[in-house]
Structure 1
Amino acid sequence: MNDLALAWLTRMMMQENAAQALWCSDENALTSLPAAEQWPHKPLLMTNRWDIAQQAERLGFNSRFSDFDFSELSDASLSHVFYRISKEKPVTHHIINQAHRLLMPGGKLFLCGQKSEGIKTYIDKAGKLFGCTASAQKNGTVYSAILDNMLPQNDQRLDDSDYPQLRPINSPQGITIHSKPGLFGWNKIDQGSEFLIQALPALLDQLPQPPKRLLDLGCGYGYLTLMTANLPLEQRVLTDNNAAALHTARRNCELNQITAEIIAADAGDQIQQTFDLILCNPPFHQGFSVDSDLTDKFILSAKRLLAKHGIALFVVNQFIPLERKAREHFRQVNMLAHNSSFKLVTLTH
């Protein structure tokens, strides 16, 4: 599906052709983007998504993969910042705040999004922070604004929930879990993941031999791996597409003295070895909408990464047709358990 807000932003970037420009992009895929050689001046692209960073590099852009860490960029060093708003308010507020710091006096923030995403409110807030008249332009369901940076840095920053900082969340006794904004369901234990962990001991008891190599596919802040601390595993690998998830998962493993590899990848695409146990609570949203292709992507990844006699355990919402999709690729697809919200499905070659 074409993102009309992103299309507007692309037009503005091509039109402005600014030498000192930054483009911030997260869950919104790079669709129909002209190759970098068509841009005399290419914006620096900062993204917290591994797949977007890799796609941008392939197109010839200079990209930075991070949890929107702008610390290496100097105050008032940019003339333009381009941003299609994010799904989560703390992320959007954080980037607007940083745009205010990074833009030189008179520099411009190009801001856009869908009406249903709260873009008009973000434009109003950014206008107050920047000290300019914020006039939202409507194009169908898309609203956009070009904001001039008229005020010096001040204490009117938008509330970003202290975005960069990790903070503890309620967790099972004996396990220390930190999280942060920028992660889906960041301030709680995901109910689907908890359901999976509750069923895991019974599943492992049925296996002919204990697993030795664990892959946490789409690890988030690492909850599934943390809850395997008592298993005599020889290797643990956690992978995710999100920079915030990778940073937080690494810290959680350190805090709980769990030896693990943390790998940036798009559904495990950077991993070559196989595993005899794969645990996965896959995402089913891309940006603001449900994306059924994500299910296929994680199923195909599990097919490639699962050892011959291994087992993959997925937890998904009841409405995700995981079993039907997986039967094309696995010899056995079994419903292990279900409740009113989730189902657990095992996959074996």
Structure 2
Amino acid sequence: MLSTTSQVLVRNKELFETGKWLFVNPPEADIFSALSNADIYGFHQFFDVYQQCPNNQKHVFEAHYPIEQSEGKLFDGAVIYMPKSKEHASLLIANMAACVKPNSNIFLVGENKSGIKSADKLFANVSQRINKIDSARHCSLYCALLENTATFDIKSFIKYEDIQVSKTTCKIAFMPGIFSAGALDPATQLLIENLPEQLTGNVLDFASGSGVIGCFAAKNNPGINLTLCDVSAVATYCSQLSLSANNLQGKVLASNGLAEIKQKFDTVLTNPPFHTGIKTDYSVTDQFIKQVKFALGPKGILMLVANRFLPYPDIIKGSLNSVSTLAQTSKFSLYRAQK
């Protein structure tokens, strides 16, 4: 079944029946078959939806849409699904403003509770002609007319922060769309503060985000074989930038859960997600915990930090042995389990 945001677009499908369109971060691939126009392309920052799309020649999985692909063949319009943060929306709008022809429309669709009612402010840098097109299913659809194609530089949206934990400092890259962008969140700090004094072998930073856990693990243990994975293209992009900024080596993978993980690990480190878009969603972490035993080698270790109220210890016990609580704060618990 289509999401409510996609249902609003189908309600207005006559807007997208002709011309070459770029749809940005739809929450499901079915929207491309629900519209009759065969000249609709997809730009995806989330690997799970990208994998669902049958014709990858029309779909791009990147942190930002590569402008060089659209030179000489700019789009007639773009549709952006409202992301979780307004800063992320501003990045996507700026990117799309460089991908459409002059006098083209950029649409923004989202749930009313998502922040979409700030559409006028979000479009202010690229357009002064913004209209609300539709409101239905607790969602809104806005349209902005761009008179001129803009320029876009992804570097203007990247910020580096020096993060210090104990005696170690890492330079970490952040972008809109990254969890806890620009700062070290308390749960991740709890995990880093309690990393083993010596890590060896293959180490996985699951749901790596900006790569901060992996960078601290590798900086304090330069001999490890580090892998970082995340479902988000923005996250894998920032993880690679963070590794480079600290002169560290590591493999960075896009993966829906552990699906793309093929090797065995001695240690898996994670501050796992509990949101999908703006909605609370524990299913990704539940599935990860149930599958992580297949990614761990003999006597492999899992270190997972999470909100204390979440029932992860019981789920971990169903997959791994000897679960213990390494550290706690008033809000978070750090668990250690061994295969």
TM-score range, shorter chain: 0.7 to 0.9
Give the Cα–Cα distance (whole angstroms) in 2 for the partners of residues 314 and 32 of structure 1.
34
Contact 1:269-1:301 within 8 A present in 2 as well: no
Give the Cα–Cα distance (whole angstroms) in 2 for the partners of residues 102 and 232 of structure 1.
41
- Give, as a single letter, the amino acid of the residue that structure 1 aligns with 2:226: R
Task: Choose from 22, 26, 29 the match for 2:27.
Answer: 29
- Which runs of 4 or more aligned residues in structure 1 lie more than 6 Å from their structure 2 counterparts after TM superposition? none
- Give, as a single letter, the amino acid of the residue that structure 2 aligns with 1:29: P
- Give, as a single letter, the amino acid of the residue that structure 2 aligns with 1:226: C
In the other structure, the counterpart of 1:121 is 118
Runs of 5+ in structure 1 lacking a partner? 205-209
Trace 1:10-159 onto structure 2 (pairs within 5 A). 10-13=10-13, 16-25=16-25, 29-30=27-28, 32-33=30-31, 35=33, 39-56=36-53, 58=54, 62-72=58-68, 73-74=70-71, 77-123=74-120, 125-126=122-123, 129-149=126-146, 151-153=147-149
Q: Deviations over 1:81-113 (max 9, x none)?
A: 112111111221122233334333442223211
Task: Choose from 289, 294, 300 the match for 2:284.
Answer: 294
- Give, as a single letter, the amino acid of the residue that structure 2 aligns with 1:340: S
Contact 1:267-1:298 within 8 A present in 2 as well: yes
Q: Deviations over 1:292-344 (max 9, x none)?
A: 21221221342221112111000011222111222222233222221111111
Residue 54 of structure 1: CA displacement? 1.1
In the other structure, the counterpart of 2:192 is 197
Contact 2:67-2:98 within 8 A present in 1 as well: no
Distance 1:174 1:123, change over 3 A: closer
Residue 261 of structure 1: CA displacement? 1.0
Deviates more, 1:283-292 or 1:300-309: 300-309
- Give, as a single letter, the amino acid of the residue that structure 2 aligns with 1:62: K
In the other structure, the counterpart of 1:253 is 243
- Give, as a single letter, the amino acid of the residue that structure 2 aligns with 1:191: P
Distance 1:52 1:318, change over 3 A: same
- Normalising by structure 2, what TM-score? 0.87
Give the Cα–Cα distance (whole angstroms) in 1 for the partners of residues 178 and 271 of structure 2.
14
In the other structure, the counterpart of 1:207 is none
Q: What's the RMSD between the two structures over aligned residues?
A: 2.9
Runs of 5+ in structure 2 lacking a partner? none
Distance 1:287 1:125, change over 3 A: closer
Distance 1:298 1:13, change over 3 A: farther
Give the Cα–Cα distance (whole angstroms) in 2 for the partners of residues 176 and 243 of structure 1.
20
Give the Cα–Cα distance (whole angstroms) in 2 for the partners of residues 264 and 76 of structure 1.
28
In structure 1, the residue corresponding to 2:9 is in which secondary structure?
A: helix
In the other structure, the counterpart of 1:171 is 163
Residue 17 of structure 1: CA displacement? 2.9
Give the Cα–Cα distance (whole angstroms) in 2 for the partners of residues 59 and 346 of structure 1.
42
Residue 176 of structure 1: CA displacement? 2.3
- Give, as a single letter, the amino acid of the residue that structure 2 aligns with 1:107: S
Give the Cα–Cα distance (whole angstroms) in 2 for the partners of residues 345 and 41 of structure 1.
49
Task: Choose from 253, 267, 272 the match for 1:277.
Answer: 267
Give the Cα–Cα distance (whole angstroms) in 1 for the partners of residues 269 and 55 of structure 2.
33
Distance 1:321 1:126, change over 3 A: same
Distance 1:313 1:110, change over 3 A: same
Distance 1:263 1:131, change over 3 A: same
Trace 1:160-239 onto structure 2 (pairs within 5 A). 164-172=156-164, 173-201=168-196, 211-228=200-217, 229-231=219-221, 233-239=223-229
Contact 1:214-1:233 within 8 A present in 2 as well: no
In structure 2, the residue corresponding to 1:201 is in which secondary structure?
A: coil
Task: Choose from 297, 304, 311 the match for 1:314.
Answer: 304
Contact 1:90-1:163 within 8 A present in 2 as well: no
In structure 2, the residue corresponding to 1:313 is in which secondary structure?
A: strand
Q: Deviations over 1:194-214 (max 9, x none)?
A: 101111236x6xxxxx63111
In structure 1, the residue corresponding to 2:109 is in which secondary structure?
A: strand
Q: Which structure has the highest strand share of the two?
A: 2
In the other structure, the counterpart of 1:303 is 293
Percent identity, aligned pairs only?
Answer: 22
Distance 1:31 1:254, change over 3 A: closer
Give the Cα–Cα distance (whole angstroms) in 2 for the partners of residues 12 and 236 of structure 1.
47
In the other structure, the counterpart of 1:3 is 3
Q: Deviations over 1:54-78 (max 9, x none)?
A: 112x366721011123422237822
